[in-house]
Amino acid sequence: MEVKLIINGTHYKFAADPDEYLLDTLRKLGYKSVKRGCDTSSCGVCSILVDGDLVPSCSFLTVRAHNKPIITVEGIQLEARKIGEMITAEGVEQCGFCSPGHVMAVYALMRENTHPSLNEIKHYLAGNLCRCSGYEGQHRALKKLMEVK
């Protein structure tokens, strides 16, 4: 089925199977920041924005993204760098496999809520798993980034 995809501002005409998911489509088109980590929509490493909403790309059918703006980390490198500066200052991006998904979630959070409390940050990111860091370092970094009192 022919789909019109708008990825980070670039328009594509893409031939997708009806059961193809955005995760695979995006990786095929070279957007390697989007990762696969599980098979139950549980881990958050595939997070992207579609039409402004944070969604798991592993569970979003490509044909349903027709004409909807899609954002991956490749499309928000300036904002990602800003977030990254805080994160790398703590050393908390360890293996980095969950990092792009986290960046997308933090970016989405900041668009929804400019000054969240620590609990709001934690709740928003609860679906982004990290097995390396123990999360504490992330919270230290995000508290600084979002100026949590």
Q: How far is the CB of 147 from another protein (least distance, A)?
A: 19
CA distances from 55 to 67, 74, 85 (A): 16, 16, 24
Out of 100, 107, 110, 145, name the contact with another protein by CB under 8 A. 100
Q: How far is the CB of 11 from another protein (least distance, A)?
A: 21
Out of 91, 111, 115, 117, name the contact with another protein by CB under 8 A. 91
- Asked if 31 contacts 46 with a C-beta cutoff of 8 angstroms, the reply is no
CA–CA separation, 109 and 104 (whole Å)? 9
Q: How far is the CB of 45 from another protein (least distance, A)?
A: 6
Q: DSSP code of 51?
A: T
81 binds another protein (CB under 8 A): yes
The token duo for 30 is 């070279």
Residues 6 or more apart whose CB falls under 8 angstroms from that of 115 comprise 146, 147, 148
Out of 61, 69, 116, 120, name the contact with another protein by CB under 8 A. 61
40 binds another protein (CB under 8 A): yes
Q: How far is the CB of 81 from another protein (least distance, A)?
A: 7
